[in-house]
Structure 1
């Protein structure tokens, strides 16, 4: 019995009970009810009028699955290969910062849950808990480190080096956040958790960052937060700067935030190891292209030279099937697991991931496919 069937029957036989709502809409609504206004909107809201966030969902509706019949789908294989490692599923936990605003354990609980599911966890620079503590929580689980490139390049180098030493297996450089976007809900709520000392754990434990301070963070948190606000973003970066990070690590480097095919070409020209097609869940540029719309052209340009992953807008198994059929090697899921975290800690994260993977398995099988590598554009029709 394959994964999706196993999950179904455990639930039907009441061997497992729901700790979070199964449907995404009810999951979000439950998190909305539990969380205070400001932290909920920090997670849920997007930039400007939220056109990009809406486009991410609408984009999936433009592609329809055409199931094939009388295919033996008794045995299924959800595994994929990435950078020499076999992942049991084509699903990773997207880097989401400042998770402590929805649950006290924050990234610790999420990393622990992801590891228990065999899902790689991408730890954010903007974590409340340091990358070393997150790595310890994930134990032997596969983990990648996401870098927000500081305007103090030695801080960026230090974090990358710390990540490799702590056992992370890839570096994800987020390109689309050289500064924070105009997020109306956060402005209305006057809410930026970093200014309260949340989401800066990696900085507070970084030797280079701390060396820049007049006093240690434990003696002067306000001073540390003030310096963080000065060095967080780096709008001056260019493609030539990527070589600096390459010199700091032997790990694969992926660029997150690619939407234009010409940027995909530049990623190849500059020797990058992977691309994540992403618009930051609609949180940076309002009115931007959806990721599912950008994905096919980027995959065409890359032509299999390096893996292309995708995030922004993934909510159900059918979304994953569509993304993989259009060329993504794997997907990243963000808000859904954060809502699970808010409602039930690591148990909530685990159940959200379990449900998503079970849905993927069953949707793939009912479409007439038995493995991830069989998914291609012939399965879809654009409406």
Structure 2
């Protein structure tokens, strides 16, 4: 069994160790970003600029907790593991280890279409897990529907439609390292499905096959599961999704891996919350590294957050045990932040918990 290094105290420690373990091409793929990395950097910079407001001598904190309920399912904290492709790049257990860690820590798990374990394997290894399926729409609607039906049959509780990556970002570090998927790691859920047509034009080839609002409307008609739209960065797009009956939004810039020079997700979150009202579930993705980041996201309008790259790093260092430890670190940090800011529950967290100049 993998052991957690004794000097791992926070998620950054897992990242530091992972870089020494993973091959250079794999590291370039997992940690890489689009073009110059401005979006990737801004996700962190803008989270760091949000300041929390400590409160003292608050009564009735002894019974506090950080539980959150989404679509009728209770989580131990407002967090899900993000849909991460090819997790077997990090360790042999890949998604099977991550979903077990998520179940042990009672948080959500979102399985990628591009997972290196099947929809069914993930469900079988952790039948009590709180799991969603992330959908990349396929060129064929029939193939897209096949993926949805497999997720429904395997007990997944929601569908997450990723809309912000119709094409891959221009990731120079990955190109320089010559990254290729190693033998034994592939998108197994797409086995037997036709590959997208190739070409030398983004518009004529890739964008000609990309989903659009009509695709989303069609998807809404195909399943009774909650559908969340991932990759929302503009209030107008948020409103369009609501008008189509979408059940939740994920504010995400794909961790800076697709389009560079975007704003940080924490910057656009308040406007998107204002656009859709107070009750629609809104989650925030990209840049989460501390429990205090989760607190800031909740204060600015999120109901929960997604955790991405740190799951890879923890998996590479210590397998499923590392992922579970990573999740527990975040819970402890979130609870400490809540207690010191006078919040007994997630519902107590609001913009008054953030510092604004007097």
Aligned with residue 274 of structure 1, among 232, 245, 248: 248
Aligned with residue 57 of structure 1, among 44, 65, 77: 44
SS of the residue 1:81 aligns to: strand
Aligned with residue 136 of structure 1, among 115, 124, 129: 124
SS of the residue 1:65 aligns to: coil
Flag structure 1 segments of 5+ consecutive residues without an equivalent. Answer: 1-15, 213-226
1:42 counterpart residue number: 29
Q: Tell whether the 8 Å contact from 1:186 to 1:192 is kept in structure 2 after alignment.
A: no
Distance 1:179 1:248 in 2: 25
2:190 counterpart residue number: 203
Q: Does 1:236 align with 2:210?
A: yes
CA shift for structure 1 position 17: 7.0
Q: Tell whether the 8 Å contact from 2:284 to 2:306 is kept in structure 1 after alignment.
A: yes
1:260 counterpart residue number: 234
Stretch deviating more after TM superposition (163-172 or 148-157): 148-157
CA shift for structure 1 position 341: 0.4
Aligned residues: 348
Q: Tell whether the 8 Å contact from 1:149 to 1:233 is kept in structure 2 after alignment.
A: no
Q: Does 1:166 align with 2:154?
A: yes
CA shift for structure 1 position 365: 0.5
1:303 counterpart residue number: 277
Aligned with residue 248 of structure 1, among 194, 217, 222: 222
SS of the residue 2:179 aligns to: coil
Alpha-carbon displacement from aligned partner over 1:41-74 (angstroms, at most 9, x marks no partner):
1111111111001000011122100111110322
Distance 2:184 2:237 in 1: 35
1:126 counterpart residue number: 114
2:142 counterpart residue number: 154
CA shift for structure 1 position 243: 2.1
CA shift for structure 1 position 367: 1.0
Runs of 4+ in 1 over 4 A off after TM superposition: 16-20, 228-235
TM-score normalised according to structure 2 size: 0.93
RMSD between aligned alpha carbons? Answer: 2.0
1:182 counterpart residue number: 170
CA shift for structure 1 position 40: 1.1
Distance 1:340 1:260 in 2: 32
Alpha-carbon displacement from aligned partner over 1:170-192 (angstroms, at most 9, x marks no partner):
00000011111100111112214
1:6 counterpart residue number: none
CA shift for structure 1 position 139: 1.6
2:92 counterpart residue number: 104
Stretch deviating more after TM superposition (16-25 or 353-362): 16-25
Distance 1:321 1:305 in 2: 18
Aligned with residue 18 of structure 2, among 12, 31, 55: 31
Q: Tell whether the 8 Å contact from 1:56 to 1:290 is kept in structure 2 after alignment.
A: yes
CA shift for structure 1 position 381: 2.5
CA shift for structure 1 position 233: 6.4
SS of the residue 1:256 aligns to: strand
Distance 2:273 2:240 in 1: 14
Distance 1:155 1:66 in 2: 49
Q: Tell whether the 8 Å contact from 2:81 to 2:306 is kept in structure 1 after alignment.
A: yes
Distance 1:80 1:203 in 2: 33
2:311 counterpart residue number: 337
SS of the residue 1:242 aligns to: helix
Q: Tell whether the 8 Å contact from 1:20 to 1:340 is kept in structure 2 after alignment.
A: no
Alpha-carbon displacement from aligned partner over 1:226-248 (angstroms, at most 9, x marks no partner):
x3675996653221211221232
Structure 1 residues 111 and 17 mapped into 2: Cα distance closer, same or farther (>3 Å)? Answer: closer
Distance 1:236 1:27 in 2: 36
Distance 2:210 2:330 in 1: 38
1:86 counterpart residue number: 74
TM-score normalised according to structure 1 size: 0.87
